[in-house]
Amino acid sequence: MYPTHIFASTDSTNRIALDMAKKGAPHGTGILAEMQVKGRGRLDRSWYSPAKKGLYCSVIVRPQLSVEDYPKITLVAGLSVAQTLIRTCACQCSVKWPNDIYCSGRKLGGILTESSSFPQGSDESFAVVGIGVNIRNSQEDFEPELTTKATSVFLETNKIYKIEAVFQAIRLELLRGIEIFEQKGFEEVLGRWKELDMLQGKMVRWMQPNGEYLYGKSRGPDCDGRLIIQETSGEYHQVLYGDVLLKDR
């Protein structure tokens, strides 16, 4: 059994997990909150976290991996969340590079991985995998700007799931995914990730550092976790950060 700390309300489970990990909390420790008042998203965005509607959790991991491999943990986590929701909730979702879970063209969940800055090879190295999934939200439970962009497990399946049970299943799958990464390498994870890739072969756009969009077909992540986009000229680009959107969205 892995330790689990449950809070009625917190600012951010990632913030708590980072504090606990710095104090030595073990691999697999989970932090779960019924609501968050300062839920954090990727790229400095916030994560809307109304009480008892979503899964808001963080898992501390201390993988036997080099620190350069840590960014790939986000892909492992996204895959683990999607596989769990498909298996245990019959929610047919997909993954979107690098950290999103989508269903019916709308966002169902996201991952925010934050890691330690200990030196390479240090036993103290860790990553905190923050996971947010909309579980029980009805359409009116979303903020107005999210109503056409977000979905929930309830909206997709018409079923109400126990949030803590979904958390336990996701944590087990995440820790299993990390073990596969450690023992068989990232290629093993990547093969499975690509089977659920929402953007595979689709025309996408990515905002380049100069503010202009790059258009091309998404060819999926490479073995370093970077997204490959192929322009119509045939030229390949490796995308490391930012948002990649379907071309006509």
In terms of DSSP bridges, do strands 4-7 and 30-33 run parallel, antiparallel, or are they unpaired? parallel
Nearer Cβ to ligand BTN (58/152): 58
Nearer Cβ to ligand BTN (102/216): 102
The reply to whether 112 sits near ligand BTN by the rule CB under 6 A is yes
The reply to whether 167 sits near ligand BTN by the rule CB under 6 A is no
Cross-strand pairs, 55: 133
> Residue 230 carries which side chain, given as an amino acid letter?
Q
Task: Determine the Cα–Cα distance for residues 200 and 188; give it in Å rounded to an integer.
Answer: 17
Question: Nearest-CA neighbor of 59 among 37, 92, 84?
Answer: 84
The reply to whether 113 sits near ligand BTN by the rule CB under 6 A is no
Please, which of residues 49-78 interact with ligand BTN by CB under 6 A? 56-58
The reply to whether 99 sits near ligand BTN by the rule CB under 6 A is yes
Nearer Cβ to ligand BTN (99/218): 99
Q: Helix 73-89 to helix 186-195 angle, to the nearest 10 degrees?
A: 50
Among 28, 78, 132, 177, binds ligand BTN (CB under 6 A): 132
Among 3, 22, 37, 45, binds ligand BTN (CB under 6 A): 45
Residue ranges binding ligand BTN (CB under 6 A): 12-14, 36, 39-42, 45, 47, 56-58, 99-100, 110-112, 130-132
